[in-house]
Chains A and B, each alone.
Chain A
């Protein structure tokens, strides 16, 4: 199963990388016996332990390694723990690395506050209770490993996002071209050689033309979907009534052909993206005209009412309706509920609508009675007077 292999491959690769890079712990203490004792306590943790017996030695290790956590003795000759910590934090790789101060002396609060000011996450006293030390260090190690995993996942995600963007580019520039050529020359052939072709030949030519058209529609729908979120959304005052009129004239043939009746009240002007309104009306009106069983002429009602901080638009039809069990599938990309022979489509339209409207701060949903019709609702934030504010 190729698909299963592909799907599990990134996970397997990810865990290998993390298993290879064990987190590193740095122990700093001027007394060797303390270092050995602490090492023994922490040995069972899944980490590599580095030991330094002076502040200088610790600093040189910090230059060469990325540590998950540092345990730092406060009382050391030459450079004490606080000085060492300050110098360590000048190094870029130490940003965000937890430091635990360990000390035998003074349980006074002022040392603890000094340690906190330097950025220590914890402060523990000798004699060390091995269980407490171990469980504290384990918490920080777990945090470190989780953070590394998230960073790794983020890198994988942004890589696949880039691949997706490249894919959309290939769709627009390289795939549209050959499909357009196929359609154009098959069209020319059917115009110029209609008589010389036999019935089979004409049928095959029509297959080519039909499929080229379907492929073109799929490519342009995928492009629209992938552009949403990639390109900046331009907010402006949009006359929704004017856009509805434009869309209705685009559907003029379908409306006249099916004797459809379109009813709508005056629609408001809304501060939003004109492309969004166009995409919504194109898909909702298109679907309302398409999903009909032909027993009666389509009747479509478009309305908008203010509702709190939102405008609520509705597009109601008297078509075949949608079964309640399809509620979640209907807005998912490439999900089609019908055979293409019955109702053609790419399964991209409503998912584009939802992706786009959510980016603009609205929502889309529907109610339906199978056999009687559906009503699609969408909301858009009302931002009256916003355009007068100096932004």
Chain B
């Protein structure tokens, strides 16, 4: 089976490491691209020219975006707006993956058409389990007939 293509947008190296570890053992197998903030993600998605898209052919469109909120340069909400207003990308499910439990963050992300909002669990095992559940659900959903 082809790997499930995920774009992780996350500035914290610790979270990148945790996510990579978790997805190594995920079912189905995943291929992970990493952007460290919203600007890098725009470049990887081909919305902006820049170092992250240089010298590569038209980048593969991910099947799922895992998106942190609090990031330098361009935060998760701004990136979410950019993705949802692009006709080529707006069908991609975006799962917010953040440590913020603030009701206003949750509301604002759903208003911007996030598919799901997951608060990063404090416990390491639950963190991995949450990512497994997300991948399992959205990869199944992506195989459903339109």
- Chain B residues within CB distance 8 Å of chain A: 12, 14-15, 18, 21, 70, 99-104, 120, 122-125, 127
Contacts and interface: CB of A to CB of B under 8 A. Distances in A.
Contacts of B101: 172, 223
B19 to A, nearest CB: 11
A185 B100 contact: no
Given A172-B102, A181-B14, 8 more contacts: A172-B99, A176-B99, A177-B12, A180-B120, A183-B124, A184-B124, A185-B14, A187-B124
B89 to A, nearest CB: 27
Interface of A: 172-173, 176-177, 180-181, 183-185, 187-188, 213, 216, 223, 231
Given A173-B70, A177-B12, A183 B122 contact: yes
The 10 nearest A-B residue pairs measured at CB: A181-B14, A184-B124, A187-B124, A176-B99, A173-B70, A180-B122, A216-B122, A177-B99, A184-B18, A188-B124
B99 A173 contact: yes
Contacts, number: 35
B100 A173 contact: yes
B103 A180 contact: no
A173 B123 CA distance: 17
Nearest to B21: A188
Given A177-B12, A181-B12, A181-B14, A187 B100 contact: no
A273 to B, nearest CB: 12
A188 B22 CA distance: 12
A26 to B, nearest CB: 49
Contacts of B103: 231
24 contacts: A172-B99, A172-B101, A172-B102, A173-B70, A173-B99, A176-B99, A177-B12, A180-B99, A180-B120, A180-B122, A181-B12, A181-B15, A183-B123, A184-B18, A184-B127, A185-B14, A185-B124, A187-B123, A187-B124, A188-B21, A213-B122, A216-B122, A223-B101, A231-B103
A345 B123 CA distance: 19
Contacts of B124: 183-185, 187-188
A172 B122 contact: no
A183 B123 CA distance: 7
A210 to B, nearest CB: 13
A141 B75 CA distance: 53
A261 B70 CA distance: 44
Contacts of A181: 12, 14-15
Contacts of A216: 122
B108 to A, nearest CB: 14
Contacts of B125: 187
Contacts of A173: 70, 99-100
Contacts of A184: 14, 18, 124, 127
A199 B70 CA distance: 39
Contacts of A185: 14, 124
Contacts of A172: 99-102
A172 to B, nearest CB: 6
Contacts of B14: 181, 184-185
A188 B104 CA distance: 32
Contacts of A188: 21, 124
Contacts of A180: 99, 120, 122
B99 to A, nearest CB: 5
Contacts of A213: 122
A387 to B, nearest CB: 22
A176 B103 CA distance: 16
Nearest to B102: A172
A356 to B, nearest CB: 15
